[in-house]
Structure 1
Amino acid sequence: MNKLDSALLNLLLKDGRMSYADMARELDISRAHARDRVQQLVDSGVIEQFTAVVNPARLGKVISTFVDLKVAPWALEEIAEELAECQEVINLYIMSDLRSLHIHTLTDSQESFDSFARRHLLGREAIISVNCTNLLARVKHGEGGAKL
């Protein structure tokens, strides 16, 4: 990856719908060259997908909860796969200690989160501990994704 690729990625991170013509003008290259470089980034797997960033509050999802689970190592992948299928779970990570899951959920109410927790987290032998914290305020948000 070179400087041009990084510049193209930064433009796409700001606006994934930016036209090749706008990219070309911004970077002083031809539209065809911009298109070819973006396609190479897709083909090489650097760009995995183009997507929309949705405001969850506009969809009624106003409770943002971060959940840290300690899980028996023998059940880690099974529980991670199960939770990944839940509509409330928007991000799920297996952590480096190989017994922790870090989960971000979005729900429309505390009652909805409580129902999710009771169905999927509480009273399970393989889940050793549960720590939940709700988001109070977003101070810095990776708008447009990571900068390269």
Structure 2
Amino acid sequence: MDPIDEAIIRCVQRNARSTYAEIGRAANLSAPAAKRRLDRLVATGAIRGFTAVLDPQVLAWRTEAFIEVFCRGKPTPAELRRALEDVPEVVEACTVSGAADAVLHVLADSSTHLEQAIQRVRATEPVERTESVIVLSRLIKRPHP
């Protein structure tokens, strides 16, 4: 990883839809050179993918829940992440100590939408079962540094 790679990564983190010309300008490269470097970062796994970042408030997703996930077998964190990343209502997922394999923070626009999201999580391999708690009120929320 050199300063050029770092500039490319910063650029696509700010906007995953950046053109090769924009990435090149950010890294002082031509568009074709930026494409080659970006392709290499993807091929080596330094960049695992590109995504849209949803704003739950704009989508009016104000129904919150925390879901404990219990798995069959012993999936790796990477396997579990891949299994859950297609559920857009999952805004955060963490592996945890204790009985559960992971805890998910889920946002939805209604209890019906939340139930559908939970059903999609439950239908995902290697999920065996879930236990959910719905957030009634947020007492403390501090910004992350």
TM-score for the superposition, normalised by structure 1: 0.60
Supply the AA of the counterpart residue of 2:103.
H
1:40 deviation in Å?
0.3
Matched, 1:106 2:100: no
Q: CA RMSD in A?
A: 4.1
1:8 deviation in Å?
0.7
Confirm or deny: 8 A CA contact 1:66 1:135 kept in the other structure: no
SS in structure 1 of the partner of residue 36 of structure 2: helix
Matched, 1:15 2:9: no
Number of positions where the alignment pairs a residue of Structure 1 with one of Structure 2: 127
Matched, 1:59 2:59: yes
1:49 deviation in Å?
1.4
Confirm or deny: 8 A CA contact 1:66 1:134 kept in the other structure: no
1:94 deviation in Å?
2.6
SS in structure 1 of the partner of residue 57 of structure 2: helix
Confirm or deny: 8 A CA contact 2:66 2:103 kept in the other structure: yes
Counterpart of 2:48?
A: 48
1:24 deviation in Å?
1.8
Supply the AA of the counterpart residue of 1:78.
R
1:32 deviation in Å?
1.8
Deviates more, 1:37-46 or 1:25-34: 25-34
SS in structure 2 of the partner of residue 4 of structure 1: helix
Confirm or deny: 8 A CA contact 2:66 2:132 kept in the other structure: no
Unmatched 5+ residue regions in structure 2? Answer: 123-128
Using CA pairs under 8 Å that are at least 6 residues apart, name the structure with larger relative contact order, 1 or 2: 1
Supply the AA of the counterpart residue of 1:23.
I
Identity %: 22
SS in structure 2 of the partner of residue 21 of structure 1: helix
1:13 deviation in Å?
0.3
Confirm or deny: 8 A CA contact 2:64 2:105 kept in the other structure: yes
Confirm or deny: 8 A CA contact 1:88 1:107 kept in the other structure: no
In structure 2, C-alpha distance between the alignment counterparts of 1:54 and 1:27, rounded to whole Å: 27
Unmatched 5+ residue regions in structure 1? Answer: 143-148
In structure 2, C-alpha distance between the alignment counterparts of 1:88 and 1:26, rounded to whole Å: 30
Query: What CA deviation, in whole Å up to 9, does each residue of 1:11-67 have, x standing for no partner?
Result: 100011111112222222222221110000111122121111122233332223334
Counterpart of 2:93?
A: 92
Greater C-alpha radius of gyration: 1
Deviates more, 1:52-61 or 1:16-25: 52-61
